[in-house]
Amino acid sequence: MAGMSSSNTSYVARDLAHVWHPCTQMKDHEQQLPMIPIRRGEGVWLEDFEGVRYLDAVSSWWVNLFGHANPRINAAVREQLDRLEQVILAGFTHEPVIRLSESLTAIAPQGLTRCFYADNGSSAVEVAVKMSFHYWRNVGRGAKTRFIALSNSYHGETLGALAVGNVELYKAIYKPLLMDVITVPSPDCFEREPGESWAEHSRRKFTHMEAALQKHAHETAAVILEPLVQCAGSMRMYDPVYLELLREACDRHEVHLIADEVAVGFGRTGTLFACEQAGIRPDFMCLSKGLTSGYLPLSAVLTTEPVYAAFYDEYVKLNAFLHSHSFTGNPLACAAALASLDIFRTDNVLERNRALSAHLGLRARELESHPHVAEVRQRGMIVAVELVREKATRQPYPWQERRGLRIYRHALSRGVLLRPIGNVVYFMPPYVITPEQIDLVVEVAREGIELATCD
């Protein structure tokens, strides 16, 4: 395959001797999966040790916004590196974390005035879950200990985040270790009836949430969900009306709303935050991935004054939120985040993305006529193509056939990194992609789909 020549080979051998890779059956590297050692990145491109380039159409697990080795972010991190690389954030502070907190609270939905930091998306979810639970205890409502989550949701891999998620592949084996959550059917619009609009379907599905809230509000701390797109859940999407209804119902039932914008935040859905499309303000908003433009591990949980106030007390009352991570609010990561927000401000990014997403959608929808494509769906800069064995009945391909893997391999041979989730091919490119590069990515996906569905 392209790029797998001698100088890559030695890195591959050394890697496979010691590195245990994430989300991987390592035996696949014997035959199914090539291992690609990357020497450098530039813009949308990743380059291996033989100079073969791969267009990063999945933003390296949805983190990268403005390209690899972005000169402006590089400069900001370099400058910070000479000043302060890391300092304990308990009792001490630093300029990047102060400025970042000022910036985030200024651009987030109004009323999210407090920032708590961690260093990855799962940890942000843990923080939000613990904070919500702890809030209710602090205000004398200790019976509110449970969480409501959606089917097909994903919130990360640590035990609390895994518990509130619902992708069986990642969760099933660990069930004995996980807290019991209340799971409500997702408003996923792939399941809408023929002729039903996204809004109608999402509204109809909300009846399950309303029923769960009616039954469980007295024992429920929060509802957690991914606004608009269930990314790891095969990029299934729903209408903003669901979030509007949920905000109103959470207020009425006195239950918190946790918006996990780890994947959809920072422009992926077309607006800076997905919640904006419903005009709502969650009680907790989890951010990571694009927060640093995919440069360094950092996450933030934004919350409100009333939540903050419930923890603000005399030390001896032991009401404080005693949660910490060593690298909380790391200055280098904050500097990358500030540089990324600066690019949003100066480069009219959301406006530019509107043209890019229109082009991406237009080209991707050409795949809709394919006999094994059931749907092409889009929300902003996220586009997904759902493959099925039989179009009329929407019968899926059995997962054991690993059709997506064939597309992955084909795309690599054409210099594109696509990473289908099961039977769903998706595009979530860095915002520095050009229309011509979008054409290439979609063409390669089309070829891959042909290959993967020809038998």
Q: By the criterion CB under 6 A, which residues form the site for ligand PMP?
A: 120-122, 125, 154-156, 226, 231-232, 260, 262-263, 288
CB nearest ligand PMP: which residue?
121
Kindly state the smallest distance separating residue 82's Cβ from ligand PMP, in Å.
28
Task: Please state the closest distance from residue 171 (CB atom) to ligand PMP, in A.
Answer: 13
The C-alpha atoms of residue 79 and residue 77 are separated, in whole angstroms, by 5
Distance in Å, CB of 7 to ligand PMP, minimum: 31
Shortest CB 13 distance to ligand PMP, Å = 28
Q: Shortest Cβ distance from residue 261 to ligand PMP (Å)?
A: 8
Q: CA geometry: angle at 236 spanning 234 and 237, to 5°? A: 155
The least distance separating ligand PMP from the CB of residue 263, rounded to whole angstroms, comes to: 4
User: In terms of CB distance, is 58 or 387 closer to ligand PMP?
Assistant: 58
Beta bridge partners of 424: 386, 421
Smallest separation, CB 61 to ligand PMP (Å): 6
Q: Which is nearer to ligand PMP, 61 or 311 (CB)?
A: 61
Nearer Cβ to ligand PMP, position 220 or 292?
Answer: 292
Nearer to ligand PMP, 97 or 150 (CB): 150
Q: Which is nearer to ligand PMP, 63 or 444 (CB)?
A: 63
Starting from the edge strand earliest in sequence, which strands make up the sheet with 382-387, in order? 373-379, 382-387, 424-427
CB 299 within 8 A of CB 124: yes
Compute the residue count for the chain: 455
- How far apart CA 303 and CA 132 sit, in angstroms, is 10
Give the whole-angstrom CA distance, residue 299 versus residue 291.
7
| Cβ-based nearer residue to ligand PMP, 49 or 62 | 62
Q: Token match 């996204």: residue? A: 198
Burial class (CB in 10 A: 0-12, 13-18, 19+), 342: middle
Other Cβ atoms closer than 10 A to 59:
25
Min dist CB 63 to ligand PMP, Å, is: 8
Nearest distance in Å: CB 226, ligand PMP: 5
164/452 with CB nearer ligand PMP: 164
Kind of pairing, strands 299-304 and 284-287? antiparallel
**Closer residue to ligand PMP in complex, CB, 298/452:** 298
Toward ligand PMP, which CB reaches closer, 135 or 154? Answer: 154
